[in-house]
Amino acid sequence: MSNLLAGKFIVIEGIEGAGKSTAIKYVIKWLEQKRIDQKNIIFTREPGGTVLAEKIRDIIKMEIKGELLQDKSELLLMYAARVQLIENIIKPSLAAGATVIGDRHNYSSFAYQGGGRQIDLALIKDIQRVSIGDFKPDFTLYLDISPEQGLTRAKARGKLDRIERQEIAFFDRSRAVFKNLVENDENAVSIEAERKPKIVELAIYQQLDQWLARLENAI
């Protein structure tokens, strides 16, 4: 069974405060229950995850008086960080037989820069094609939450950053794009994330079990 999970890339997506960091702990617990050795579980986050990509993350989060980060610059920085992460960490780890868990990936750019910032999705697709080609996750868990609820959770944790301070409509558009992408992706599932942590945890295990069963049936 563990062989089926070797070399697989599992991604968690969702808007702010959906519970991605919390969900990752559950995914790690599930992998350990499937007897995947801790050293074969690699965790990544986007934007970030390599030395240079973390520096790009700093630029994305930075607020400079008198100079706005342009939407298209933000989009290109997301993909620059993604290329660094994929080529330096994700692909080599998968090739070595690890299971990689990603806190956000490509769908976040469609949701935030496409939905939120309203950049043409066709343009994002072109940038995706020239930067990361057809690289994609094996399985995506999308945590669905209303922006009101997600931002309440995020606020409870502390000061909001540049992106988190966008208006509710921004996150409504992001959520709509996420939902559309997930509905049209047979390797992605949506989880209602407004429920109690224990219920969300069980829903995540159930979805992972069903995905694993599909992998087994495909042999």
Task: Note the residues at the interface with ligand T5A (CB under 6 A).
Answer: 14, 16-22, 45-47, 78, 104, 108-109, 112-113, 153-154, 157, 163-164, 193, 197, 200
Least distance in Å: CB of 21 to ligand T5A? 4
Distances (CA, A) of 194 to 16, 62, 147, 153: 12, 30, 11, 10
Determine contact, residues 151/17, Cβ cutoff 8 Å: yes
Least distance in Å: CB of 170 to ligand T5A? 10
76 vs 215 by CB, closer to ligand T5A: 76
Name the strands in the sheet holding 9-13, side by side, starting at the edge strand that comes first in the sequence. 41-45, 99-103, 9-13, 139-144, 188-192
Give the residue among 160, 200, 158, 157 at the shortest CA–CA distance from 14. Answer: 200
Please give the Cα distance from 119 to 89 (Å, whole number).
Answer: 28
4 vs 61 by CB, closer to ligand T5A: 61
User: What are the φ/ψ torsions at residue 64 (nearest 5 degrees)?
Assistant: -105, 125
72 vs 157 by CB, closer to ligand T5A: 157
Least distance in Å: CB of 58 to ligand T5A? 11
Least distance in Å: CB of 64 to ligand T5A? 17
Least distance in Å: CB of 35 to ligand T5A? 26
99 vs 109 by CB, closer to ligand T5A: 109
21 vs 206 by CB, closer to ligand T5A: 21
Quickly count: other Cβ atoms within 10 Å of residue 137's Cβ. Answer: 22
